[in-house]
């Protein structure tokens, strides 16, 4: 019975890692679609969001079923409760990639990002991918030390977000209100993706230690 139970726990962990992999792929593709006005890539991301959503729904149903059947306690209960929150964060990260791709599709055949902001958006995509890579390692190996690092990694995303906003507020901005709104939304999508990664990292830390991670200053 216990072996079967822990096998099901392990299966939930595998599904979470699968979600993280799909989220990373979606963010990479969405960023490339945005920077290169690639309509087919944008459509791929938009369609793939249904897969991430379905994995979350299935995973949550399995988790709740396992909790009801096994009535776990202590560390096992922490894993299951955390899994519900982690899957929700990963699903939301997938939604954010979906939003980025929709922005690329909406402005096609033009590129949604003005030339002077291309480096900033490219860097936001790079930071996002690096954070998701580290997050996958944290999840797979239950690495509480690296979990704490992700909040510091998020500082780089926040810095890029501030740079973007400063450009939009500069008197030299010449692309109009519509483009400014586009870029404000895009900056927010990347920034929120990193925030969800921080949330997941804190959940993993809680799973491992039974304690909530203090914010990194």
Sequence ranges of the domains in the chain: 2-209
| pLDDT over threshold 90, residue 3 | no
Q: Tell me the average pLDDT of the chain.
A: 94
Looking at residue 73, what is its pLDDT? 81
Q: Which helix (H) or strand (E) holds 31?
A: helix 2-36
Looking at residue 105, what is its pLDDT? 97
| pLDDT over threshold 60, residue 25 | yes
Q: What is the mean pLDDT of residues 17-22?
A: 97
Spatial separation of the C-alpha atoms in residues 139 and 141, rounded to whole Å: 6
Determine the topology of domain 2-209 in CATH: Methane Monooxygenase Hydroxylase; Chain G, domain 1 (1.20.58)
Name the token pair of 106.
Answer: 């909406």
Per-position b or e across 169-202, b if 16+ CB within 10 A of its CB: eeeebeeeeebbebbeebbebbbbbbbbbbbbbb
Q: What is the mean pLDDT of residues 59-75?
A: 89
Looking at residue 214, what is its pLDDT? 65
| pLDDT over threshold 80, residue 196 | yes
Name the token pair of 173.
Answer: 């901005």
What is the band of 4 on the pLDDT scale with cuts at 50, 70, 90? confident
Q: Are 97 and 22 in contact (CB under 8 A)?
A: no
Tens of pLDDT, residues 91-134? 999 999 999 999 999 999 999 999 999 999 999 999 999 999 99
Looking at residue 107, what is its pLDDT? 96
What 8-state DSSP symbol labels residue 173?
-
Quote the distance between the C-alpha of residue 177 and its chain's center. Answer: 28
215 half-sphere exposure, CB direction, 13 A CA radius: 4
What is the band of 1 on the pLDDT scale with cuts at 50, 70, 90? low
Looking at residue 216, what is its pLDDT? 54
SS3 110: coil
Alpha carbon separation from 54 to 23, 42, 85 (Å, rounded): 13, 20, 16
Angle between helices 118-141 and 2-36 (to 10 degrees): 170
Q: What is the mean pLDDT of residues 56-85?
A: 91
């Amino acid at each position: 019975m216990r072996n079967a139970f822990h096998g099901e726990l392990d299966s939930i962990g595998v599904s979470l890692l699968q979600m993280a992999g799909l989220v990373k792929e979606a963010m990479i593709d969405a960023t490339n679609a945005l920077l290169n006005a690639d309509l087919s890539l944008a459509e791929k991301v938009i369609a793939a969001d249904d897969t991430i959503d379905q994995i979350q729904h299935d995973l949550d149903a399995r988790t709740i079923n396992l909790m009801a059947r096994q009535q776990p306690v202590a560390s096992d209960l922490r894993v299951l409760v955390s899994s519900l929150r982690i899957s929700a964060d990963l699903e939301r990260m997938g939604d954010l990639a979906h939003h980025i791709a929709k922005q690329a599709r909406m402005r096609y055949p033009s590129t949604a990002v003005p030339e002077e902001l291309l480096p900033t958006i490219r860097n936001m995509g790079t930071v996002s991918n690096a954070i998701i890579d580290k997050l996958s390692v944290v999840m797979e190996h239950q690495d509480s030390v690296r979990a704490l690092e992700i909040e510091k990694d998020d500082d780089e995303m926040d810095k890029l977000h501030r740079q973007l906003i400063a450009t939009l507020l500069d008197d030299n901005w010449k692309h109009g209100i519509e483009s400014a709104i586009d870029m404000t939304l895009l900056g927010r999508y990347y920034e929120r993706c990193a925030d969800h990664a921080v949330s997941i990292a804190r959940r993993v830390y809680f799973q491992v230690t039974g304690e909530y991670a203090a914010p990194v200053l």
